[in-house]
Amino acid sequence: MASGRPMPRYSRVVCLNGSTRMPTLYDYLDSGNGYKIRLLLAQLKQPYRWIELDITRGATRTPQFLAKNLNGRIPTLELDDGTCLAESDAIMWYLAEGSPFVPADRLGRAQALQWMFFEQYSHEPYVATPRYIIRHLPPDSPRQAELPDRRARGRDALAVMDGHLRNRTYFVGERYSIADIALYAYTHVAPEAGFDLSPYPHVLSWMGRVASEPGHMLITDRPAS
Amino acid sequence: MASGRPMPRYSRVVCLNGSTRMPTLYDYLDSGNGYKIRLLLAQLKQPYRWIELDITRGATRTPQFLAKNLNGRIPTLELDDGTCLAESDAIMWYLAEGSPFVPADRLGRAQALQWMFFEQYSHEPYVATPRYIIRHLPPDSPRQAELPDRRARGRDALAVMDGHLRNRTYFVGERYSIADIALYAYTHVAPEAGFDLSPYPHVLSWMGRVASEPGHMLITDRPAS
């Protein structure tokens, strides 16, 4: 993937309104983790600057970006004062705390976090990573060999979700929350990772409900200026 | 590991006081994820029932336990009303919300969650899993082949922690919190997973501070009756 051209550090900058008092989201359009933040910000109607970094060309491993996030990953949210926040689900918590997108009761908040940690530990490495390998690595990458094992564990995660949703409309408290956004992000594009979702009918109907929520946007929707 | 004996479902039950109004922690002594909850409960001085399940013999995959946690994992916390909560870091949030172990400000809470998600995504699979392979799988397990790659990514995680702690005493807000407990749990036993911690001096001095906190206990300390 190396080339003689200088690496573009920022491939696109969009300012979503004219104010200077708004956060900046460092992101990559095809990232489901980044999409979580874009979707939540759209539904919160919160303006932000959007800066796309080409993660396939090392743009998050520059000294400039590592000063913002030592772990070198998008999404990273930069606040007005320069403070940077990493980890998609922590960023969602920051943005949504006190809003209807975070449960109002103590148990509900912990249950939302339970599903968000489930997503990062038991779902994302097995549903999102195969999609990345297929879409962004060359067909002869040795990482193609990881696909069968990862997909098997991805099916385990989808089965857990399907069982939980059997008699529920949303993951926590019968109400749409950041737990749904966290799990929707890579589940709805799981077919791009080679998953057949037809064995998970409760997941499919839940995805339909999530996509019908006011302010929904697609992972392919670039933040518009 | 199979044997002709019937599988013990519960290997040990300890009631930490005589009340029936207290949560039950399903756990496994050698689990760092379980240790997070034991350490926090000790520091919160909260009584609880402790039930140890032998995860090496499938005790979390029984229909009885899967009814408590569809994902079949410890730690799982069962509340008085039978509600069960999974995922160690979500359980800690539930137990500690409103206490000094969770930051009092919105940004601090999000930063604590940032490090807890970092722990589950970028640290636990690469620091905890090698320890599990070494301690609980047979020496000829094919999973031994995973060790070099996992340890390399574990060293990346330790380096991120060391960089963050260079000029800080704790992970968030210069105060001991559940973010420290989350990262301490498997970091302090990383040598058991084959890690040399000497290249991470800031991690080492932070571990000393964590171990000096009031009410600290060891991962090998069985909850006493």
Q: Closest Cα to residue B52, out of B10, B8, B6, B7?
A: B10
Q: How far apart are CA A150 and CA B43, in angstroms?
A: 38
- Hey, is the C-beta of A170 within 8 angstroms of any chain B C-beta? no
Cβ distance A109 to B97 less than 8 Å, yes or no, reads yes
Q: Could you tell me where the DSSP H helices lie in chain B?
A: 32-44, 63-66, 88-96, 106-118, 129-136, 147-165, 178-187, 201-211
Give me the sign of the Cα torsion angle B182, B183, B184, B187: positive
Instruction: Provide ipTM, 2 decimals.
Output: 0.92
Cβ distance A85 to B110 less than 8 Å, yes or no, reads yes
Neighbour-count burial for B29-53, b at 16+ CB within 10 Å, e otherwise? bbbbbbbbbbbbbbbeeeebbbbbb
With a CB cutoff of 8 Å and minimum separation 6, the contacts of B48 are B16, B22, B23, B24, B25, B41, B223
- Hey, is the C-beta of A163 within 8 angstroms of any chain B C-beta? yes
State residue B21's pLDDT score: 73
* Other C-beta atoms lying within 10 Å of the C-beta of residue B95: 24
Cβ distance B86 to A118 less than 8 Å, yes or no, reads yes
State residue A16's pLDDT score: 52
Residue of A nearest to B92 (CA): A110
Q: How far is A86 from chain B (nearest CA, A)?
A: 6
Q: What is the DSSP letter of B172?
A: B
- Hey, is the C-beta of B89 within 8 angstroms of any chain A C-beta? yes
Q: How far apart are CA B110 and CA B101, in angstroms?
A: 13
Q: Closest Cα to residue A57, out of A15, A96, A11, A97?
A: A11
CATH number attached to the domain at B106-211: 1.20.1050.10
User: pTM here?
Assistant: 0.92
Q: Tens digits of per-residue pLDDT, A60-84?
A: 999 999 999 999 999 999 999 999 9
Whether a cis peptide bond, with omega within 30° of 0, leads into B100 is no
CATH H-level, domain A12-96: superfamily: Glutaredoxin (3.40.30.10)
Whether A103 contacts A175, CB under 8 Å: yes
Per-residue pLDDT of chain B (225 residues; tens, 9 = 90+): 333 344 444 445 554 554 557 999 999 999 999 999 999 999 999 999 999 999 989 999 999 999 999 999 999 999 999 999 999 999 999 999 999 999 999 999 999 999 999 999 999 999 999 999 999 999 999 999 999 999 999 999 999 999 999 999 999 999 999 999 999 999 999 999 999 999 999 999 999 999 999 999 999 999 964
Residue of B nearest to A124 (CA): B121
A38's tokens: 């874009």
Cβ distance B87 to A124 less than 8 Å, yes or no, reads no
Cβ distance B113 to A90 less than 8 Å, yes or no, reads yes
Q: How far is B1 from chain A (nearest CA, A)?
A: 22
For chain A, give every domain's residue range: 12-96, 106-211
Among residues 9-48 of chain A, which lie with CB inside 8 Å of chain B?
Answer: none
- Hey, is the C-beta of A84 within 8 angstroms of any chain B C-beta? no
Q: Closest Cα to residue A129, out of A31, A39, A62, A26?
A: A31
Pick from A79, A90, A114: CB nearest B117: A90
State residue B7's pLDDT score: 41
**CA angle (A18, A21, A26) in 5-degree steps:** 85
pLDDT < 50 stretches in chain A: 1-12, 15, 17-18, 225
Whether B92 contacts B182, CB under 8 Å: yes
- Kindly list the distances between the CA atom of residue B38 and the CA atoms of A44, B81, B130, B144, in Å, as whole numbers in the listed order: 37, 21, 22, 29
Q: Closest Cα to residue B184, out of B97, B103, B88, B106?
A: B88
Q: Closest Cα to residue A22, out of A41, A1, A40?
A: A41
Pick from B89, B160, B164: CB nearest A117: B89
State residue B149's pLDDT score: 96
Cβ distance A122 to B83 less than 8 Å, yes or no, reads no
Whether B2 contacts B58, CB under 8 Å: no
Among residues 116-155 of chain A, which lie with CB inside 8 Å of chain B?
Answer: 116-118, 120-122, 124-125
Contacts of A121 in chain B (CB under 8 A): 87, 120-121, 124-125
- Hey, is the C-beta of B97 within 8 angstroms of any chain A C-beta? yes
Pick from B94, B116, B122: CB nearest A110: B94
State residue A218's pLDDT score: 97
Termini Cα distance of chain A: 31
Cβ distance A93 to B113 less than 8 Å, yes or no, reads yes
- Hey, is the C-beta of B83 within 8 angstroms of any chain A C-beta? yes
- Hey, is the C-beta of A171 within 8 angstroms of any chain B C-beta? no
* Other C-beta atoms lying within 10 Å of the C-beta of residue A177: 24
- Kindly list the distances between the CA atom of residue B186 and the CA atoms of A88, B85, B127, B207, in Å, as whole numbers in the listed order: 23, 21, 7, 11
Cβ distance A90 to B160 less than 8 Å, yes or no, reads no
Q: How far apart are CA A39 and CA A195, in angstroms?
A: 23
Residue of B nearest to A79 (CA): B107
B92's tokens: 């800690």
